[in-house]
Amino acid sequence: MPEYCKVEKDGRILTVSLDRPDLLNALHPLANLELGKVFDEFADDPELWVAIITGEGRGFCAGNDLKFQASGGMQGVEVPVRGFGGLTARYDCDKPVIAAVNGVAMGGGFEIALACDLIIASEAATFALPEPRVGLAALAGGVHRLPRQIGLKHAMGMMLTGRRVSAREGFDLGFVNEVVAPEELMPTARRWA
C-alpha cells in the first residue's frame, strides 16, 4: 500500500491522490520514489488507459518539501529518474495523464501539472513557480514547459517574479483546459478521461 498517495482503479482510469494534506501535499524524496513506482505500474498496465492526479485536502501540491530538505533528511537520495512526482521527466508514457488541480499548485506541484496532458482546475486553484523567491529555478520542467504552453513573455513574467495565477487566468493564458466549481472537479476530470 502506498504511504504518500492514495491509488484507486475504476475501470480503465487510475486516480492518484497525493496524500500529505497537512503539508499541502509537498513532496519529499520518499514520496517522489513512491509516485515514480505508481506511474511505472500505470504505464505498464494495459488495462489502464488514463490517469488522473490530484491532491488530498486543500492543496494539489505545494512542490518540494523544503522543511524536510532543510532538516537534512534522506541526504543523497535523488529525485527518481522519472522526475518530480514520478511525472516531470516521464517522456515515454503513451497514455494521457490529467491533473485535477484542487488548490495550491506551486513550484514542483505546478511542474507536475504542466507535465500532464490536460489540466482541469477548481476555481480555488492557484498556480506559481515561486523558486526565484528562494534563490532557485523551476528545473523540473517548468522553465521549458511553461513557455511552450503560454508563450515566452507570459512565462517569463511568471517565472522571474514568482507571481501567482488564478485558475481563470491560467485558462485565459492557455495552460488550463477547464475551470470548474470545487465540487465539480473530479466529475469533470473523469468526464475528460
Report the catalytic residues: 111, 131
Q: Identity (one letter) of the amino acid at 180?
A: V
**Per-residue CA distances from 54 to 5, 14, 15, 48, 106 (Å):** 10, 11, 8, 17, 13
Sign (positive or negative) of CA dihedral 150, 104, 190, 39: positive
> What does the alpha-carbon distance between residue 93 and residue 136 come to, in Å, rounded to a whole number?
28
Joined grid coordinates for residue 178: 477547464
User: Could you give the 3-state DSSP secondary structure of residue 132?
Assistant: helix
